[in-house]
Amino acid sequence: MSNNTRILTVDDSPSMRALLNHALTSQGFDVSQAEDGIAALDWLALNEVDVVITDINMPRLDGFGLIERLREGSRHRDRPILVLTTESSEEKKARAREAGATGWIVKPFDPQKLVAAVRRVAH
Amino acid sequence: MNAEEIQAIFFAECEESLAAAEAGLAACKAGTHDADTVNAVFRGVHSIKGGAGAFGYVALQAFTHTFETLLSDVRDETVAITEPLVDLLLRALDTLSDHVAAARGLGETPDDAALQAELTAAMAANAGAAPAAAPAAAAAPEPQPTATSSASDDDDFGIDFDSMMDSIAGELTGGDAASDDDKPVSKGWVLKVRPHTGAMRNGSEPLLMLREVLELGGRCVECDVGQVPPLDTLDPVTGYLGWTFVFPDDVSEASVRDVFDFVGDDCGLSFGEDAPMADVRLPAPATPASAPAAPAAAPIASTSTSAPAPTEAAPAPSGGAAPPAPPAPPVPGQSIRIELGKLDKLIDAVGELVIAQAMMAQRLAGDGLAVTEELAMLEGLTRDIQESAMAIRAQPIGSVFSRVPRILRELTASTGKHVRLDVSGESTELDKTVIERLGEPLTHLIRNAVDHGIESAEERLAAGKSAEGTLTLSAEHRSGRILIRIADDGRGINRERVLQKAIEKGLVAPDAQLSKEEIDLLIFAPGFSTAQQISNISGRGVGMDVVRQNVKDLGGRITIESEPGSGTTFTLTLPLTLAISDGMVVNVGDQTLVVPLANVVESLRPAPNEVQGLGSRRAMINVRGRFIPVVPLHEAVGALGAVEKAQDGVLIVVETEGAGRAALLVDAICDQRQVVIKSLDTHYRSVEGVAGATILGDGRVALIVDVDGLVSRSLSGMSLAEAA
């Protein structure tokens, strides 16, 4: 079902982007990359995407800020957005959910886990 | 891209993260510990941790975790920033750096047990004052009534989560096998699901979750439609439906809960046949008076078609419990990563463009079209492109300076000498290649300064100095070059001993009469070492000549100023870039030469009475009351048929590092333009007095004059000739 699911990964860490890219493309996803919230907004202004995966702590515009900006408009109001987090405490989850995230991926992730999370939210 | 390439990216990133953290901590140490600074440190360590986990560097990950936890306390201001704490963090950073090196296979994994304990103690010390995680979690706004077993807080490494996922994977296959009709429905356990409105916000789709439940092996036995209202009062975004599923016994409750992990209690779950289905949550009244939502929420809520509006208000009461979003960290400007090779290609092409432009200008000038507007435009653009291309390669020297504190800490540990560091001009920019090749000589000079220059505390006190030594590092732009100073306030160079040693080693004749400066320069002689006992810090005397060679290779020079008893200053003078510079094209007899514009102060055509003869061969020119020696360029380069008398030619006043100002006598100035520097070393060999060569507009090759070298050689030659 997901062979052409388009994913935008947003992370300021090149190695994390590379890892995400590797894990997702090997499963047949279409992956694009942005290095922070602003770059993601720029990219999204011109491109279509099915799922956004974003880190939280990033320069310029962090993940929560990005989600807030995306949810403001109707175009991405119902877009599945997963946040990358290093903690999975209930507090953090509530926080992510409150910020508008659809779900989360706990770092470090294994590829299987990542793909399962994406499939869970991909329309 | 394979795993190794990703790993290489990770390690490059580690270096950046370490440097950023180091810079942040240095700022903390200097008294700047605002949120941005602390967050920068946190982010550096955090980013290393993320990758360490992904690549399975267990020791690195464990250490970064402890480190990060303490930093997170610092960031949240539950741990106060004190001097000892910053010192502890700095030590932790050093160890982290060693961990990274070990992960790279460049050393042993450091034994960090004691340090970990210290870091943990720093957290624990404040745990009583501000109980951080546990109570906050308990106060979390949406406690799930039945969530006791599975929703346990995963530890930060996500290991529990992993095993959960594994179990899902297991269940998935088990579920497939069990999904056939031969399983009696009555067997197994029951789940009742009712997605509330909230399960549809944030892009969640309850249908996908229900599908996943089916994939796990659940069978839908009942759909509760009893709550669906008449059509005219139906709210399309309210969850009126509830489903009852039956699972085979071999499907774990945890794996099913996990499906609904993302929606939390926005989805009512009841386990067990007797448990009641969660009630329908009816939409909130149009204007929820109780919700202290932002004013903007009210108008949205009143337009009832807007889906997320009612739920937007719901989490608001919990807003107080959640920490505010971390402030945006300092913005170093948007950046992209470019492979260096591509950049070099661009720079090369720009170099060729500059030459081509010059050639075209020359051709047009030959056809009487020199004053072409388009040509001027092209020239301006070419210059813009060149400057932009150069700026791409420029980096602040701070990246080199930021390594110094660590070097000093290590030196303090091994020598017992305490050294304070003063740094200025970190933001001075210069070419990346220069920066990269600067690290080694700089490190060596610093080690040398601490090891040989700065005295022990006792010695310093006896000499009436403060016990702590001071090392000053500075960088600045000076007439198209960059000046880097490394100054210590130590004992200065012991010239007597240097000279004695040089004589012993046969580097100078026993009866040689050397000036102070010449003696100082002896320390750069190959094979020279004055350390009474060879220390393991500044090497075995193979260093200083290598330092000088490194600097020379960069097109720079190094000078020493030393005052016995009060310290030594090394000054490195380096070019900003290695590729292109501005030059003045001059004619000298049958030769065309290029004088780097960086050296040129002014040019003038002297009146006969302004030039004064000094002896038979030497002349001085009076420039506004100041006498400057005239250096006939034709003599220095052996050009034929050149102007001999200053008043017949043009004098170019140049500034030199070593010999002050001098006036170069040339026949005429032809042009002033950008020249692409081609090294003579690579194409021919190094020639004294010549900095390199370039290709002129007409395709001829012209030598670029090394003004410093040529002037000092020429002037000293004169003084010898005079003495004779």
d(CA B136, CA A91): 7
CATH superfamily of A6-121: Response regulator (3.40.50.2300)
Task: Report the relative pairing of strands B567-575 and B557-563 from DSSP bridges.
Answer: antiparallel
Mean pLDDT of B151-177: 42
Q: What are the residues whose beta carbons fall under 8 Å from the beta carbon of B498, sequence distance 6 or more?
A: B519, B520, B522, B523, B530
Read off the pLDDT of residues B328-375 as tens digits, 9 standing for 90 and up: 444 455 677 778 788 878 888 888 888 888 888 888 888 887 777 888
Instruction: Label residues B327-343 b or e (16+ Cβ within 10 Å = b).
Output: ebbeeeeeeeeeeeeee
d(CA B107, CA B99): 8
Structural domain boundaries in chain A = 6-121
Mutate to test the interface with B, among A50, A98, A118 (most CBs of B within 10 A): A98
Q: How many Å separate Cα B74 from the centre of its chain?
A: 23
What residues of B are in contact with residue A109 (Cβ under 8 Å)? 54, 158
- Calculate how close chain B gets to A49, using CA atoms only, in Å: 13
**Contact A108/B6, CB-based, under 8 Å?**
no
Higher pLDDT, B498 or B486: B486
Residue B130, chain A, CB below 8 Å: the answer is: no
Peptide bond preceding B135: is omega within 30 degrees of 0, i.e. cis? no
B136 pLDDT above the threshold of 50: no
pLDDT at residue B163, as a whole number: 45
Residue B27, CA distances (Å) to B376, B402, B566 in order: 47, 11, 28
Higher pLDDT, B563 or B187: B563
Q: How confident is the model at residue B472 (pLDDT cuts 50, 70, 90)?
A: very high
- Calculate how close chain A gets to B1, using CA atoms only, in Å: 7
Q: How confident is the model at residue B24 (pLDDT cuts 50, 70, 90)?
A: confident
Which residue is associated with the tokens 């009060």?
B566
The values of phi and psi at residue B283, to 5°, are -60, 145
Read off the pLDDT of residues B93-122 as tens digits, 9 standing for 90 and up: 888 888 888 888 887 888 888 888 888 888
What residues of B are in contact with residue A39 (Cβ under 8 Å)? 334
Higher pLDDT, A59 or B657: A59
**Contact B205/A12, CB-based, under 8 Å?**
no
d(CA A82, CA A104): 5
pLDDT at residue A7, as a whole number: 92
Which of A39-53, A104-118, B648-662, B706-720 is predicted with the least confidence, judged by mean pLDDT? B706-720
**Contact B202/A112, CB-based, under 8 Å?**
no
Residue A73, chain B, CB below 8 Å: the answer is: no
pLDDT at residue B1, as a whole number: 66
Read off the pLDDT of residues B678-722 as tens digits, 9 standing for 90 and up: 777 767 777 778 878 888 877 788 998 888 788 888 877 654 444
d(CA B621, CA B617): 13
Residue B650, CA distances (Å) to B357, B564, B602, B670, B691 in order: 27, 44, 11, 11, 22
pLDDT at residue B718, as a whole number: 53
Pick the closest to residue B327 from B88, B110, B34 (CA basis).
B34
Read off the pLDDT of residues A24-83 as tens digits, 9 standing for 90 and up: 888 888 899 998 899 898 888 888 889 999 988 888 888 888 988 888 888 888 889 999
Neighbours of B443 (CB within 10 A): 17
- B593-B596-B602-B604 Cα dihedral, nearest 10 degrees: 0
Nearest CB to A79 within list B144, B157, B203: B203
Mean pLDDT of B546-569: 82
Token pair listed for B376: 């001027």
Q: What is the mean pLDDT of chain A?
A: 85
Token pair listed for B396: 């602040």
Token pair listed for B351: 């170099």
A10 pLDDT above the threshold of 90: yes
What residues of A are in contact with residue B312 (Cβ under 8 Å)? none
Q: Facing residues of B477 across strands?
A: B482
Residue A75, chain B, CB below 8 Å: the answer is: no
Q: What is the DSSP string of B380-420?
A: HHHHHHHHHHHHHHEEETHHHHTTHHHHHHHHHHHH---EE
- Which chain B residue shows the shortest CA-CA distance from A18? B6
- Which chain B residue shows the shortest CA-CA distance from A67? B202
Q: What are the residues whose beta carbons fall under 8 Å from the beta carbon of B492, sequence distance 6 or more?
A: B453, B562, B563, B564, B565, B566, B567, B568
Q: What is the mean pLDDT of chain B?
A: 76
Q: What percent of chain B has pLDDT over 90?
A: 5
Q: Is the ipTM of this complex over 0.90?
A: no
The values of phi and psi at residue B159, to 5°, are -70, -40
**Contact B46/A86, CB-based, under 8 Å?**
yes
d(CA B188, CA B166): 22
Read off the pLDDT of residues B174-185 as tens digits, 9 standing for 90 and up: 444 444 444 444
Mutate to test the interface with A, among B37, B64, B202 (most CBs of A within 10 A): B202
Chain A to chain B Cβ contacts (< 8 Å): 166
**Contact A13/B6, CB-based, under 8 Å?**
no
Mean pLDDT of A103-120: 84
B695: helix, coil or strand? strand
Q: Where are the alpha helices (DSSP H) in B286-339?
A: 297-302, 309-313
Q: What are the residues whose beta carbons fall under 8 Å from the beta carbon of B25, sequence distance 6 or more?
A: B41, B86, B89, B90, B93
Q: What is the DSSP string of B143-161?
A: --TTTTSTTPPPPTT-HHH
B271 pLDDT above the threshold of 80: yes
Neighbours of B447 (CB within 10 A): 20
Greatest mean pLDDT among A50-59, B164-173, B201-210, B357-366: A50-59
Nearest CB to A121 within list B46, B49, B203: B203
330-369 in B: which are within 8 Å (CB) of A?
Answer: 330-332, 334-337
Read off the pLDDT of residues B231-254 as tens digits, 9 standing for 90 and up: 877 887 788 888 888 888 888 888
Mean pLDDT of B5-29: 85
**Contact B7/A101, CB-based, under 8 Å?**
no
